[in-house]
Amino acid sequence: MGVDQANGVVNYCRRPPQRPFLQRIQYAIWDPEERKFLGRTPKRWGVIGLIYLVMYICIIIFFSICMCGLLASVDEHIPYFTLADSIIGNNPGMGHRPVVFEEGALIWYRLDNETSYKKYTDNLDEFLAPYKNKSLLINKGENQVDCQQKRPHAGEVCAFDTSLLGPCSSENDYGYADGTPCLIIKLNKIYDWQPQFYDDPGDLPSNMPPDILNYINTTKTPQERRQVWLSCKGERPADTESLGPLRYWPYPGLPEIYFPYNNTPGYLSPLVAVQLLNPIRGQIINIRCRAWARNIVFTESLKERMGSTHLEIMVD
């Protein structure tokens, strides 16, 4: 604050006049002597306001131009980067249900306590709801067709019939009530990924489980063998012994007609239900399910679990 002295020289360095505390607050907000609001005259506030207004208008214009350019170069249905060029990569992972968030990969229930396993059956019901009720899909499933082992036409997707899952159904409590629980296994979706099948019975991996080998050898047509095979087993010898026999519904594979995934509305991943026919009770069983295709990388490491999924189950 400057004050004109008698000789006409303005002194900007003098101490402001001493005022009471409340008056200082009042003058900080509105100074009637110099007509300043919060330290600035109305003219100064107008100049600052105009500068900020012009600046933000320019920022909005530049941001809008950038967004228009970005959206013009991005397709709503086709990712800009796919397969090996994308963050996801070209090696699909796997998923399983039921999964209760609070418990992670552990499934633990008592046969004589319906409440203890209802959370798992409810989780399976929720997961399978779009498969059973097409109205839950974005396009109401209008483009789903019964493929009958033939690839769908452009814009169509193959429907998956949950009745093929046999006793792994809601009506049967997915086997949890009678001690033969079911697990639903799926392959994660990767845009434009096409599996390379193990479809030659004479050229199969030596470490493929005997039950999967037996199924492949009993197929009658080449089309039946063009599947991404799935298998589950105990992670350790003790787990394998406790796991007991398994049954795959409808069969241990995902047919070729569901590949590749290209983000078509109404698409639902194919499923395999794995039923534990006689698991040992009162013991945690570590299970690992993996996918079999020539271009699916599988690692034995329990940390990475590439090409596989892990779960634990305990039936009391």
3-state secondary structure the chain: CCEECCCCCEECCCCCCCCCHHHHHHHHHEECCCCEECCECHHHHHHHHHHHHHHHHHHHHHHHHHHHHHHHHCCCCCCCCCHHHCCCCCCCCEEEECCEHHHECEEEECCCCHHHHHHHHHHHHHHHHHHHCHHHCCCCCCCEECCCCCCCCCCCEECCCHHHHCCCCHHHHHHCCCCCCEEEEEECCCECCCCCCCCCCCCCCCCCCHHHHHHHHHCCCHHHHCEEEEEEEECCHHHHHHHCCEEEECCCEEEHHHCCECCCCCCCCCCEEEEECCCCCCCCEEEEEEEECCCCCCCCCCCCCCCEEEEEEEEC
Q: 141 vs 49, 157, 219, 227, 259, CA distance in Å?
A: 54, 9, 31, 24, 18
Find out whether 282 and 262 touch, Cβ atoms under 8 Å: no
pLDDT at 2: 46
pLDDT at 148: 84
| Beta strand 3-4 pairing with 285-292 | unpaired
Closest listed residue to residue 273, CA positions, set 186, 172, 146, 210: 186
Find out whether 121 and 176 touch, Cβ atoms under 8 Å: yes
pLDDT at 1: 45
- 146-167 burial code (b ≥16 CB/10 A, e <16): ebeeeebeeebbbbbebeebeb
Give the pTM: 0.78
From first to last of its 316 residues, the chain has per-residue pLDDT tens of 444 455 555 556 666 677 777 777 777 777 777 777 777 788 888 888 899 999 999 999 999 999 998 888 887 778 888 888 888 888 999 999 999 887 778 999 999 999 999 999 999 999 999 999 998 988 888 889 998 888 898 889 999 999 999 999 999 999 999 999 999 999 999 999 999 999 999 999 999 999 999 999 999 899 999 999 999 999 999 999 999 999 999 999 999 999 999 989 999 999 999 999 999 999 999 999 999 999 999 988 777 778 899 999 999 9
Residue 234 CB burial class (10 angstroms; 0-12, 13-18, ≥19): middle
